[in-house]
Amino acid sequence: MNQKVKVHIALWIVTIIYGATFSIAKQVMPIYIKPFAFILLRVSVASVLIILFHKSFIKEKITDKKDFMKLLVCAIFGVAANMMLFFKGLSITTPINASVLMMNTPIFVIVIAMIWHKEKLSFQKLMGVLLASLGAIMLVGGRKFQFDSERVLGDMMVAANAIIYAFYLVYAKQLIHKYHPLTVTLYSFLFGTLLVLPFGAAEFSQIEWYTFTPKIWAFVGFITVGSTFLTYVLNAYALRHASSSLVGSYIYLQPVCATLIAITFATDELSFEKLIFMVLVFVGVYLASIKKAKAQEVIMENE
């Protein structure tokens, strides 16, 4: 099996895992585990697994002490605030809404990079941002949009999570070029566990483990091991053997997987209107990203 096929298999596995995460997490939250407790469990278990994996295969150390402060910023935006907003929002909103709102992450990356690196915003990117924003707004309510709705609050949390995670991707870029992606992930998760601990400790102590059925234990294992540890390892593998544009493009397939899985679990329904709004978001993200993606491919070819 050649390297290119292995990369695509790894990315498909990541896409399916992320797509399933929205519905599977909803089976556990908030009945068995509350959102912040779930995050604490997720980052602590993943931290242990990443430490073992890093010590066995990467064995890289931070060479500049000043980078620890940057890693702390990565932990705040890439782990703590990011995950708490996402899981709390997911516990309120629907899996399809959450998955489609997360598709706005590439849009926010473009906007933040434009501000951070003073990149110019083309007409194509502007149209992409507008289309994706329109699709997202219509998806979470449209003409019936109500800020006092509990579901809208969850949608806003997931959207805020997408913005925060986009900032993390832009901010962490320099560190990821300097160190192995899993080295950055390792310290981000270690610091992130300490940051999440004060928020999740109380909810964690309230978990009634004896009520867990074998299915719930499997779901918890899937979230902590699969959608956290395994996805980071597979993404890191893909990033070492493929362009970032190829890896990033797989995010567009996540809502499709999430929708099919949500329908399978009967936790959501796919209406014609939602399908139209999803297409708007998809087209918007594609228009905003295609030019950048092509430019990245040229860079990768010249390296």
Exposure of 40 in the CB half-sphere (CA atoms within 13 A): 19
User: Which of 13-22, 109-118, 142-151, 236-245 has the largest mean confidence?
Assistant: 13-22
pLDDT the model gives residue 22: 74
Place 246 in a pLDDT band, splitting at 50, 70 and 90: low
pTM: 0.76
Place 299 in a pLDDT band, splitting at 50, 70 and 90: very low
